[in-house]
Amino acid sequence: MRLIASLVALATLGGAATGCDGTRSRKPVAMAPIGTVPIATRTPEEADGGTTTTPNSGTPNPMKEATCAGDDFEALEKALDQCDTKMPRTTDVPTNMRDKLELRVTTATPSIAGGGRVDLIMTLKNKSSEPLPLYFTGDPRPVFDVEAVDLKGRRVDLPAGKPPKTPAVPTHDVKASRITLAPGGTARVKITWDAVKTRWAREKVKSWDGRGYPRAPNGPLAPGKYTLRIVVPLIGVFEKGDVETPKVPIDITAT
């Protein structure tokens, strides 16, 4: 009798775990609509304290800020390649630059033979006691050019006559770069110049990234005394005549 009672009890328990049709009952699973992601609330301890930024997020990039602000830019041209920015508004450009910015240029040698090459070093110095933002423009990047003039102020490095009208020189979007010089800080850029005359070069139209129509060397400059003027692509510095174009004398000797 005890054996029969035990079998009856087991049968009763088995029936409670199955449906009327003999199948096992299942717990329903909660479903979420496809394409939705539950929002997880972060605790203060889980907050993201990183410095990662996203494009156009408006959050300053610490690495870029460190690259574009300082007291010593040994190779300014390299810094400008990394320090692109939107074109400044008039109110962004510092005023009274004569009292804040010093520009000077030196040559590796005071004289070279016609057709020779010389390195020029241009230095920008912040004379003020405050950080000085400097904006440079480029087409498509900032270019430091050199103009050679004789004792009468006439350009001697340009081809005779007007440049060809066709083919048209490619145009680029005008962009800007910015660095911030610390008080007393300096930035230097090396510019290579060749003591040559030039000709209009149609063959360089597609690859030319300089100012104006493409040019190519066309023989050495004649011996004489010249002045080299540096074309500095600074925005809002030379327009009012507050700061003079940096220049340096050079003697060209016979080859």
Site of tokens 């209009």: 200
Q: Report if residue 101 sits inside a domain.
A: yes
Average pLDDT over residues 220-234: 96
- For 142-168, the DSSP string reads ---EEEEE-TTS-BSSSPSSPPPSSSP
Per the structure, the count of domains in the chain is 1
pLDDT tens digit string along 146-170?
999 999 999 999 998 888 876 666 6
**Domain membership flag for residue 111:** yes
5 within domain boundaries: no
Mean pLDDT of the chain: 80
Asked if the structure places residue 17 within a domain, the reply is no
The amino acid present at 230, given as its one-letter code, is I
Q: Residues 190-207: pLDDT tens digits? A: 999 999 999 998 888 887
Q: Is the pLDDT of residue 227 over 80?
A: yes
Whether residue 57 lies inside any domain: the answer is no
CATH code, domain carrying 173: 2.60.40.10
Rg for the chain (alpha carbons), in Å?
36
DSSP 184-209: EEEEEEEEEEE-EEEEE-GGGTTT--
Residue of 174, 238, 183, 176 whose CA lies nearest to 69: 183
How far apart (Å, rounded) are the C-alpha atoms in residues 74 and 170?
A: 32
Residue 167 pLDDT? 61
Residue 122, in any domain of the structure: yes
Domain range for 98 is: 63-253
Within a domain: 3 = no
On whether residue 53 sits in a domain, the answer given is: no
Q: What angle do CA 37, 40, 46 make, to 5 degrees?
A: 140
Spatial distance between the Cα atoms of 240 and 121, rounded to a whole number of angstroms: 25
Q: Where are the alpha helices (DSSP H) in the chain?
A: 2-16, 62-68, 76-82
